[in-house]
Structure 1
Amino acid sequence: MASPAPKIVLDGVTKSFGPISVLDGVNLSIDPGESLAIIGQSGSGKSVTLKCILGLIQPDAGSIRVDGEEIIGQRGKELERLRAKFGMLFQGSALFDSLPIWRNVTFALTQGHHRDAARMRMIAEENLERVGLDAKILDLRPSELSGGMQKRVALARAIAPRPEIIFFDEPTTGLDPIRADVINDLIVSLVEDLGVTALTITHDMASARKIAHRVAMLYQGKIIWRGPRDRLYDSGNPYVDQFVQGRADGPIS
C-alpha cells in the first residue's frame, strides 16, 4: 500500500536578513495526521520557518508545498485559500482584550464582524468544552482569566474553524509545569480526535516528547537531526544531546 503524500514539504528553503543567514536549505516533510516538533536554540530560525509556511515571510529560495500546492509566491485570494487550512496557537495567546471570550473563539469564523451571534456563541461553547472550559466564561474578557485559561481559550480559537493543519508556537511558554502538562495533554487529544496535522516549535523538551510523533532539530539554519520522539534523548547526535540535556559543554557554543 502506497504511503500518503506529505501534507507539508519544505525543500531547500533559505532566508537571509541582510548579511545574516537564518535558514540555509531547510528540508522537511510532515505526513497527514502527523505531529512534528521543531526544537532549537533561540534565534535558530524556528519562528522564521513557521512564518515562511504561513506566507508571512517570503523565502529567498526553495519550495514550500501544502497538499502539493506551492505556497511561495502566492498572494491575494489564492494565499487566503491555502491559509484557510491553517489554525494557529500563538506564543502569547494573542487574544483580543476588547472582545468577550466567545467572540475571541469564533474570530476566524466571523473575521471580527458581528454576525449570527447566537450560532457563534454556541460554536464557542462547544469548542471551549473541548478544551475543558465551560460556558460561564463566554462573556468574560481575557484579562479576567489566568494565563493557563487564556491558553485554553486560544487553543479553542485555533480549532474552531476545524483546520487541517495547526501550528503551535511555544505552546507552554509562561506556564508552570502542571499547567504546561495540561496544555500538552489537550494538544495530544485534539490532534488525535480531530485528525489534524500539527507542527510545533518549542524549546520545552517535555512538551516535544509528549505532543510530537517526530522531532527535528534546527541548528544554524539547517535541520541537523530528525527522528521519533523516543530517540530524543538517545539520538546519537552530539548537538541534540547537548541541547536536550541543557549542558553548557558541547559543540554548541
Structure 2
Amino acid sequence: MTGPKIKLCEVRKAFGEKRVLDGVNLSIEPGESVAIIGGSGTGKSVTLKCILGLMRPDSGSIEVDGQEIVGARPREIEKVRAKFGMLFQGGALFDSLPVWRNVTFGLTQGKRREPQRMRRLAAATLERVGLGADILDLRPNELSGGMQKRVALARAIAPRPEIIFFDEPTTGLDPIRSDVINDLIVSLTQDLGITALTITHDMVSARKIANRVAMLYNGRIVWHGPRDRLYDSGNPYVDQFVNGRAEGPIR
C-alpha cells in the first residue's frame, strides 16, 4: 500500500451557526508521527472524532489507507477502526475492572475470554510501558496518575494497532511524568512502526512526540512543518501560540 495512511481533504463541520472545521487538509504518511496544535475550541477534538468515525463531517473527504470513511457503511467503518488505538485524555480507564482487564479490553470487549492468556498478554504489554505484573489485579484508583496513564497507553497498544491517536497525552501530569510519557510514546511508536496523530496544546510534548506539527486555527490548518521549525516558523499565528503572547492575530 502506497500513499498516505490518513488523508483529510476540505473537511468541514458546523454546529448550527458555528463553523468549527472550515476546509481542513492534512496528510499523514505511514510510520509518521504528526501533532495538531491549537487553542481550546479550535477544532482539534472534532477533527479527531471525524477521523475516528464518531462524527460525520458536513462535507469533505477522509481516507484511511485509501478507503473513504465519510459516508461509509457502519461495517466498513468498524473494519477501519480495527486499525486504531487510542490514548484518551485523562486515561478513561474502567474503575470497576482490574488493570489486566483494562489493558486487554480492546481485545475482549470486556468479555471473559481466555483469562490466562489475556493476563499474560497484559503483563507483557505492561512491561513495555515500564510497569510490573504486581499491578495486574489492582484497580485504576489504586494507581498514581502517572501509572494510570501508562496503563492507558498499554491498553492502546495491546491490540497492535496500525494507527494510534493521542488526545492531550500529558494532561494532568507534572513536567517529569510528562517527559516519561513522551519518551514512552516515542519509543513505542518507533519500535512498533505505528502511525501516530496527537492533539495537544503542550509544546514540549509536540516537539518530542511528533516528526511534523500542524497548527489548526479558525477551522483550517494555517501551518505545518517539521517540529524543528515550530519556534522558527515565520507564521504569525504559530509564533504567537507557541510563545504564549497575548498580542497577535489570534483573538
TM-score band, normalised by the shorter chain?
Answer: over 0.9
Match of 2:84 in 1: 86
For residue 180 of structure 2, the aligned residue among 182, 190, 193 is 182
**C-alpha separation in 2, matches of 1:81 and 1:226:** 30
**C-alpha separation in 2, matches of 1:245 and 1:29:** 26
For residue 146 of structure 1, the aligned residue among 132, 144, 147 is 144
**2:72 is the counterpart of 1:74:** yes
Report how far residue 141 of structure 1 moved: 0.1
Match of 1:26 in 2: 24
**2:147 is the counterpart of 1:130:** no
Report how far residue 76 of structure 1 moved: 2.4
% same residue:
78
**C-alpha separation in 1, matches of 2:13 and 2:159:** 31
**C-alpha separation in 1, matches of 2:75 and 2:118:** 25
**C-alpha separation in 2, matches of 1:159 and 1:199:** 14
Report how far residue 77 of structure 1 moved: 1.8
SS at structure 1 position matched to 2:89: coil
Report how far residue 10 of structure 1 moved: 0.0
Mapping of residues 1-253 of structure 1, within 5 Å: 4-253=2-251
After superposing on structure 2, the runs of 4+ consecutive aligned residues of structure 1 that deviate more than 4 Å are none
**C-alpha separation in 1, matches of 2:72 and 2:135:** 39
Gaps of at least 5 residues in structure 1 are none
Q: Match for 1:244: what amino acid?
A: V
After superposition, the C-alpha distances for 1:114-144 in whole angstroms (9 at most, x for unaligned) are 0100000001001100000000000000000
Q: Match for 2:39: what amino acid?
A: Q
Q: Is the 8 A contact 1:11 1:25 kept in 2?
A: yes
Report how far residue 251 of structure 1 moved: 1.0
Q: Match for 2:38: what amino acid?
A: G
**C-alpha separation in 1, matches of 2:240 and 2:34:** 20
**C-alpha separation in 2, matches of 1:220 and 1:76:** 30
Q: Match for 1:27: what amino acid?
A: N
Q: Is the 8 A contact 1:4 1:31 kept in 2?
A: no
SS at structure 2 position matched to 1:57: coil
**C-alpha separation in 2, matches of 1:71 and 1:194:** 25
**C-alpha separation in 1, matches of 2:120 and 2:232:** 46
SS at structure 2 position matched to 1:167: strand
Q: Is the 8 A contact 1:44 1:218 kept in 2?
A: yes
Q: Match for 2:107: what amino acid?
A: L
After superposition, the C-alpha distances for 1:55-84 in whole angstroms (9 at most, x for unaligned) are 000000000000000011123221111100
Normalising by structure 2, we get a TM-score of: 0.99
**C-alpha separation in 2, matches of 1:74 and 1:157:** 27
**C-alpha separation in 2, matches of 1:184 and 1:124:** 21
**C-alpha separation in 1, matches of 2:250 and 2:76:** 41
